Structure formats: C-alpha cells, structure tokens
C-alpha cells in the first residue's frame, strides 16, 4: 500500500471482537463467582454469629442452673454449722440432693460438649429390640409405679445394628419424660416397621405439648413449666444430637392435654440380631455384703482417698489407702478388693495397675472409679472384668458393687 501504512483485515477485526467477548464473559463469570463466594461468606458469618449467640445463651443458662444447687448446698451447710440443734439428717439429705442435681447437670453438659465436639463415635453392634427394650422398660417401671401409672409394652419385634449405649440413652430419656409429664393413665413402648426403617415409639397420656413448643423443646434448657419436678432441660437436646449421630431422626406428635408420641426412627438391620446372652444377676443397690471387706483404695488425690475411706468405714469395711502404684503393690496381699482411679500420677492408670496387682493376686476383684468416658477404656475394663463406677460416685453404686464382688468371691 502506498506510504507503507497498515490496513486491518476483516480477520483481524473478527479475532479482536472474539477476544473482547471472551474477556467480558470471563469477567462476568468472575463477578458471579465473587458474588457467590461473598454470599456464602455472609451466610457463614451469619451462622457463626448465631452459633456464638446460642453458645453464649447456653453457657449463661448452664452457669445459672449449675450455681443454683451449689448455692443451696452452701446455704444448707452454713445453716448446719451455725445451729447444731437443727435436724441434721434432714439437712444432710437436702445437701446431698443439691449436690446430686449439680452432678447431673455437669454430666449432661459433658455429654453435649462431647457430641458437639465429635468426641463420641458410635460403636455399632447387632441388637435384638424385644429383649433390649424390655430391659429398658423394667428399669423405668418403678418410676411409673410410684406415680400410679401403667407401663405397657406393645409389639417389640425387630433388629438394629447400632450403638446400644447411645440408643439406650435416647429411649431412657423418652420414657423418663413420659412418666414425668403424665399425671394419670399410662405409657406405651412399642416398635413399628416403616419400610426399611423401624420406628420405636414412646406414647403417653400426659399433658401434651402446644404446637408452638414442638421445636423449642429440643433446645438446651427448655422446660415446659407445667409439672412440679422437671428435668434439666438438656435431655431432648442430647437425644436429638445422638439420633443424628446414629443416622436416625426423632419424630414428635402431640396435642396439648391429649398426650404425646416421641419416636426414634432408625434403619432396620438387614439380618436378625443373635439371641442375647443372659447377663449374670447383679446384687441389688444397697445390698449388704456377706462380710466386712478390706478394700484397697488407690487415688492420687488425698482428699478422695480420705473421703472414700470414710464412706467405707461407715459401711463397716476397712479401707487400705494408697496414692501410688508402689504403695498399692506393697499392700495388695492385705486386701480383698481394689478400688482404683483411672488417671494416676506420672502417666500411670488404674487398669495397668489392676493388671499388675493381679499378677500377684490372680482373680482379685477390682473396680475402676473414674470420670473418663472414653469407649476404649470401657471396652478394656470389660475385657479385664473390671467394674466401672462413674465419678461422682454415690454410696448406692459403691454398696451394690461391694455386695456383688463379695458374692462372686463366696461363689469362687
């Protein structure tokens, strides 16, 4: 071309237009992704803010409910100290009730904390529902009888493959609530098949729940406020978490004044569960041992050793205190039974100690007293045939184990 100028061809114009269009599409897609991510972050921040508010409300309610029984116990103790002429046994019972209430709340808070933190992992096993549910019902029956209620069993056939301890926790909560909120009539426990699922129903003729409360009662510290003796308000919150952990769901059908149905829905097992083995008979709580016992008490906390020894002495036994494995090994030939804490000093633990003691005294009856709830600890204790008594331990649990251990010793 004259003058050496450059003339853009049609092909060049078309390529530039295509590149511009591609750039615009890329920018639009980038803007869309930025907007989507911004929305996601905004939603996540909203959830975090709500979770923080819920946690703050939860901790405030927990602190209030925990301080109440401790405050009552302090007042009862102060009254007893200032006026020895007061009826001591009655005050002691009130102090004990206050402490037990605080213990129950701490356990429930620990359960919820572990569930939320992923510290509880189900250990599934085959479960025959007929025997499993009948056993749970028998444990609740005395509560129902005390209120003059009928506890009936419907069809219980079915099998699950799930964690028995977690399943028992949910159903005991349902049954206990049913008895608590039923002034007259009765409670029915039954199982219905729904396709590939089983629905375990607890039906009562109690006060019922207003529709606006159906969701709220699954929140922490929610109570209906319609009976004299209500629980902590944590049971259904825990049950909801456990149901989700087990891959199931909770259903509620209720009308105020006409009773309620709480149901746990879980996948049915593909194969029937094996027939359950008969469990050995346990001594009843508070049963008297055959004879006074010499009990080795092992704990690294001096006050716990002292308090356990005082209770054993009051029950007619001879405590043999030890704070270290070395002290326990030195006294093992003098004792009939062993009570050991799980967490000891220097990384030692009660199960290892019991194994060492049994090298010297094969078959020595032993119990682990612990606040440790790890499944691995419970499974190892079961393999070793070591009883597990949860901290805080009440005198009834200790008395029942002493009676059982003494009976086993006599049978041997």
Q: What is the pLDDT of residues 154-177, one digit of tens each?
A: 988 899 999 888 888 888 888 888
**C-alpha span between 238 and 173 (Å, rounded):** 9
Q: Where in the chain is the domain with CATH 3.40.50.2300?
A: 294-411
- Best CA proximity match to 203, nearest among 168, 157, 151, 249: 151
Q: Are 342 and 335 in contact (CB under 8 A)?
A: no
- 15 pLDDT above the threshold of 70: no
What architecture does CATH give domain 10-120?
Answer: Orthogonal Bundle (1.10)
- 262 pLDDT above the threshold of 70: yes
pLDDT at 59: 56
Least confident of 55-59, 83-87, 169-173, 370-374: 55-59
**What is the residue-averaged pLDDT of the chain?**
77
Q: Where in the chain is the domain with CATH 3.30.565.10?
A: 125-267
Candidates 2.70.70.10, 3.40.50.1820, 3.30.565.10, 3.40.50.10860; correct CATH number of 125-267? 3.30.565.10
pLDDT band at residue 285 using 50, 70 and 90 as cut-offs: very low
Statement: 294-411 belongs to CATH 1.25.40.10: no
Order the strands of the 186-194 sheet from edge to edge.
150-153, 186-194, 197-204, 260-267, 249-254
The mean per-residue pLDDT over the stretch 220-233 comes to: 48
The radius of gyration computed from the CA coordinates of the chain, to the nearest angstrom, equals: 30
- 282 pLDDT above the threshold of 70: no
Q: Where in the chain is the domain with CATH 1.10.287.130?
A: 10-120
pLDDT at 2: 53
The mean per-residue pLDDT over the stretch 101-130 comes to: 72
pLDDT at 173: 83
pLDDT at 67: 62
- 96 pLDDT above the threshold of 80: no
- 337 pLDDT above the threshold of 70: yes
Q: Tell me the per-residue pLDDT of 385-406, one tens digit each, with 9 for 90 and over.
A: 999 888 777 777 888 888 887 7
pTM of the predicted structure, to 2 decimals:
0.54
- 316 pLDDT above the threshold of 90: no
- 50 pLDDT above the threshold of 80: no
């Amino acid at each position: 071309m004259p003058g050496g100028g450059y003339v853009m061809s049609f092909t060049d114009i078309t390529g530039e237009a295509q590149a511009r269009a591609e750039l615009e599409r890329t920018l639009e897609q980038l803007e869309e992704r930025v907007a989507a991510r911004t929305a996601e972050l905004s939603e996540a921040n909203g959830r975090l803010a709500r979770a923080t508010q819920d946690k703050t409300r939860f901790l405030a309610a927990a602190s209030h409910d925990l301080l109440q029984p401790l405050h009552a116990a302090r007042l009862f103790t102060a009254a007893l100290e200032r006026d020895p002429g007061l009826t001591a046994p009655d005050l002691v019972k009130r102090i004990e009730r206050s402490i037990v209430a605080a213990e129950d709340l701490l356990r429930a808070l620990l359960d919820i904390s572990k569930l939320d933190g992923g510290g509880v992992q189900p250990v599934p096993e085959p479960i025959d529902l007929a025997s499993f549910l009948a056993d749970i019902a028998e444990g609740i029956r005395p509560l129902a009888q005390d209120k003059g209620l009928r506890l009936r069993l419907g069809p219980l056939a079915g099998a699950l493959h799930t964690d028995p301890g977690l399943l028992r926790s949910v159903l005991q909560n349902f049954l206990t609530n049913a008895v608590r909120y039923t002034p007259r009539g009765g409670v029915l426990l039954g199982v219905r098949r729904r396709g590939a699922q089983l629905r375990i129903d607890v039906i009562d003729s109690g006060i019922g729940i207003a529709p606006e409360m159906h969701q709220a009662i699954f929140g922490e510290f929610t109570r209906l406020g319609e009976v004299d003796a209500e629980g902590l308000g944590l049971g259904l919150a825990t049950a909801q978490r456990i149901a989700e952990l087990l891959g199931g769901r909770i259903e509620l059908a209720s009308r105020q004044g006409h009773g309620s149905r709480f149901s746990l829905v879980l996948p049915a097992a593909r194969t029937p569960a094996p027939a359950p083995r008969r469990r050995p008979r346990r001594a009843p709580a508070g049963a008297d041992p055959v004879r006074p016992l010499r009990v080795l008490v092992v704990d690294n906390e001096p006050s716990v050793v002292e308090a356990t020894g005082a209770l054993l002495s009051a029950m007619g036994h001879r405590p043999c205190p030890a704070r270290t494995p070395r002290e326990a090994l030195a006294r093992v030939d003098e004792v009939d039974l062993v009570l050991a804490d799980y967490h000891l000093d220097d990384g030692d633990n009660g199960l290892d100690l019991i194994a060492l003691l049994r090298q010297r005294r094969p078959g020595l009856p032993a119990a682990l007293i612990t606040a440790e709830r790890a499944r691995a600890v419970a499974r190892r204790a079961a393999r070793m045939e070591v009883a597990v008594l949860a901290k805080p331990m009440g005198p009834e649990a200790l008395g029942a184990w002493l009676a059982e251990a003494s009976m086993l010793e006599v049978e041997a």
